[in-house]
Structure 1
Amino acid sequence: MSSDVLDDSHRDLHSEQGALPGEHVGRASDPVIKVHDIAWLEFEKPDLAAAEVFAHAFGFSTVHRSAGELVLRGTLAGPPCVIVRKGVRSRFLGPAFRAADAHDLLRLSSATGTNVRALPEHLGGVVVDVREPAGALVRVVADVIDHPELPSQPAHTYNFGAAEHPRINATQRPPREPARVERLGHVVLQTDRYRASLDWYLKHLGMIVSDFLFFPGQRERGPAMSFIRCDRGDTPADHHTLAMTLGPRNRYVHSAYQVADLDALAAGGEHLKELGYQHSWGIGRHIQGSQIFDYWRDPDGFLVEHFSDGDLFDASLEPGWAPMTASGLNQWGPPATPDFLGIAPGKEPAREALAMASSLRSDNEFDLHRLLGLLKVARS
């Protein structure tokens, strides 16, 4: 592909500018395997009943329930979206990615010195558990059970512009009901070893970067966030299946679940609001990924997103580069809220502040200059 074509892609599709000479290329030359997609996310929570009530209001369906585990799915055919295990406290356990087949798990197992083992019967298939450089658990699965498709949100008929008016003598009344989750789209994670973790995902799971963000005034120090997609060759994949950002500690940031359209997202949000759940930010449209978004807090404080109309890229597109700013998070919609940015009063921001102090005394990538860059992002 010529540099002119890549430059046009940067301007027209996903970024104002591409990489400068010597900057990160956003992919590994010879990855161990190439994961096909994200499979599910795993959490621990003390109250599975409350977790299930919120899950149904958010738009999930229960596919398996026991005294110690809750498994949630979307309407599209495939594996579950979320697995919640009963625990003494609420915490994120890690993501699971789906390999093309079990042979990939053997290659990953050999490269990482781990074992392939069977998953429980209600999940099916096999798994390899590995640790990335920051110590976070990453699961790669194959041959898991694909559940059949469920009824999806009814499609709407739209009257657009002056030429097309297919809806005559009929009203448009989307009900205020749960926005039916179709599938898990992506997870966003923070790490204090961003570059090492990023390179690990590219090398071991064969993922590729769609967009890099850097702290304002610190481009020469390299990126501080990346939006990473699966490499499916000529077959388009979500703009990002995983996003990683540099911060003072390793933590879950949010996860995103696809719904049918803006009406489903908005009416589903009204339903959650009527039930008294906490709205975090939205409705708006992102820049990186272009999704229409709406963010909510579950009863345990985890940030979850309804999204629709996201970008799809094939493997030919090179990474874009842009500065990281709070005002650059959306093309339209309300400004990012203190809750979404993690600066509203509360336990989680307090933990983040304590982590900032301790991380500056630790062996990681989050130094004083990076801290100043992150604070500048929050003020932007």
Structure 2
Amino acid sequence: MTDPLGAHSDLHSEQGALRGEHPGRARNPVIKVRDLAWLEFEKPDLSATSGFACAFGFTATVHTPDELHLRGTDAGTPCVIVRKGSRSRFVGAAFAAAESADVLRLAEATGRAARPLPESIGGMGVDLIDPTGGRVRVVSDTHQLPESDAQQPHVLNVGHRIDRTNATQRPLREPARIQRLGHVVLQSTRYLETLNWYLENLGLIVSDFLYYSGQRERGPVMSFIRCDLGRTPSDHHTLALALGPANRYVHSAYQVNDLDAIAAGGEYLLDLGYQRSWGIGRHVQGSQIFDYWRDPDGFLVEHFSDGDMFDCTLEPGWAPMTASGLAQWGPPATKDFLGIGTPREFARELRTMASSLREDNEFDLQRLRGLLKVASS
């Protein structure tokens, strides 16, 4: 186990897989989804949710006392659907199938029923439960919102190339207009089982694996996973999965135009008193320029731009997981981003870890040691 197979040094990770490691894709998946359609949440205060959403860059297409639909400027479905609930919680993700036959095929293979979706969304879907207990909806033939006005890219003078003369650059301090939903990151106590479930049922493929330093022989603990669109490039990750002491939502990411949109939009959010969690910086895996924020309910959301796009020919990269390795440049990862921003949060995380260690899952004592090394790196 010393010779990397298919290594892609300097491309998007340190090296390729070693012999016998996880291939990062299923041999014969049930279907291949084409994109992440939307995310669903429940929250008790839709007015506060709407206020932050508009400042973050969404546009509301449905806003009733019981339901809120938030869209980007790209054509398609809403990015986020929020329904009124007694407490704040992430309900699940919806993935777009290539066609209705795929929804029916997946329903038959999993023993679930395909049903019409609410009229506000249209189309049909099948609801599955992944190994974390989370709901995963796969949909087709939904109503498509038309493209709306997007922020226009600035004309840039880059190096010695001069494209702007006798004109100034004045990015407005305004919301960074969301273009589309990019990805969602989830944590699982049964990481490998959950990873295989998504690869086998939805046909997703891994772009990058991360492993704990000194524990590579035990396998990966995080994967960045993309849609398999054949030779058509897709986002470096549509879904990211990480091993951890709880089954939970970590964050979701929304594409905006460029760095100016991220920076000026961030100043707008700060002016309104919202909390930046971490940023601005550029990631390693995925290469996105990022900026993370906390919404009024404490959910972590990300503005991003300039992400990697891979086609089906690229094999997974492998790299050790470190906190310092999360960004090529930018400030160090904050305690808030790592989920231990306050003494109360730190104590709660310790209790979560202790509880997980008493259960039958993949998060054992050795994995805990690896995670603690990451947090201190």
Instruction: For residues 55-106 of structure 1, give each alpha carbon's deviation from its aligned partner in whole angstroms, at most 9, with x where no partner exists.
Output: 0000000011222110000000011100001001101011110000110011
Measured in 2, the distance between the counterparts of 1:173 and 1:179 equals: 14
Amino acid at match of 1:361: R
* 1:36-51 alignment runs, 5 A limit: 36-51=34-49
Instruction: For residues 132-171 of structure 1, give each alpha carbon's deviation from its aligned partner in whole angstroms, at most 9, with x where no partner exists.
Output: 1121111111111110001000221111222x21211111
1:242 deviates by 0.2
* 1:1-380 alignment runs, 5 A limit: 6-7=6-7, 10-162=8-160, 164-345=161-342, 348-380=345-377
Amino acid at match of 1:279: R
Amino acid at match of 1:331: Q
Measured in 2, the distance between the counterparts of 1:4 and 1:312 equals: 23
1:349 deviates by 4.1
State the SS of the aligned residue for 1:84. strand
Percent identity between the aligned chains? 69
My pick for the range that moved more, 265-274 or 129-138, is 129-138
Measured in 1, the distance between the counterparts of 2:198 and 2:178 equals: 27
Structure-2 change in CA distance of 1:345 and 1:369 (3 Å):
same
Measured in 1, the distance between the counterparts of 2:343 and 2:42 equals: 21
Measured in 2, the distance between the counterparts of 1:97 and 1:347 equals: 35
Amino acid at match of 1:335: P
Amino acid at match of 2:59: S
- Contact kept, 8 Å, 2:211 with 2:319, in 1: the verdict is yes
Measured in 1, the distance between the counterparts of 2:185 and 2:132 equals: 15
- Contact kept, 8 Å, 2:76 with 2:144, in 1: the verdict is yes
Instruction: For residues 272-300 of structure 1, give each alpha carbon's deviation from its aligned partner in whole angstroms, at most 9, with x where no partner exists.
Output: 00000001000000000000000000000
1:346 deviates by 5.6
Amino acid at match of 1:344: G
Measured in 1, the distance between the counterparts of 2:164 and 2:178 equals: 26
Measured in 2, the distance between the counterparts of 1:60 and 1:93 equals: 19
Measured in 2, the distance between the counterparts of 1:364 and 1:99 equals: 31
- Contact kept, 8 Å, 1:6 with 1:317, in 2: the verdict is no
Measured in 2, the distance between the counterparts of 1:241 and 1:178 equals: 24
State the SS of the aligned residue for 2:208. strand
1:350 deviates by 3.8
TM (normalized to structure 1)? 0.97
1:319 deviates by 0.3
Measured in 2, the distance between the counterparts of 1:89 and 1:347 equals: 19
State the SS of the aligned residue for 2:195. helix
- Contact kept, 8 Å, 1:32 with 1:204, in 2: the verdict is yes
Amino acid at match of 2:124: V
State the SS of the aligned residue for 2:65. coil
Amino acid at match of 2:182: G
- Contact kept, 8 Å, 1:249 with 1:352, in 2: the verdict is no
State the SS of the aligned residue for 1:245. strand
Amino acid at match of 2:333: A
Amino acid at match of 2:54: H
- Contact kept, 8 Å, 1:207 with 1:231, in 2: the verdict is yes
TM (normalized to structure 2)? 0.98
Measured in 1, the distance between the counterparts of 2:154 and 2:365 equals: 51
- Contact kept, 8 Å, 2:41 with 2:82, in 1: the verdict is yes
Query: Which blocks of at least 5 consecutive residues in structure 1 are unaligned?
Result: none
Measured in 2, the distance between the counterparts of 1:78 and 1:173 equals: 31
What root-mean-square deviation, in Å, do the aligned CA atoms of Structure 1 and Structure 2 show?
1.3
1:173 deviates by 0.3
State the SS of the aligned residue for 2:82. strand
Amino acid at match of 1:359: S
1:12 deviates by 3.0
Measured in 2, the distance between the counterparts of 1:293 and 1:347 equals: 27
Q: Across the two proteins, how many residue pairs are aligned to each other?
A: 375
Structure-2 change in CA distance of 1:177 and 1:346 (3 Å):
farther
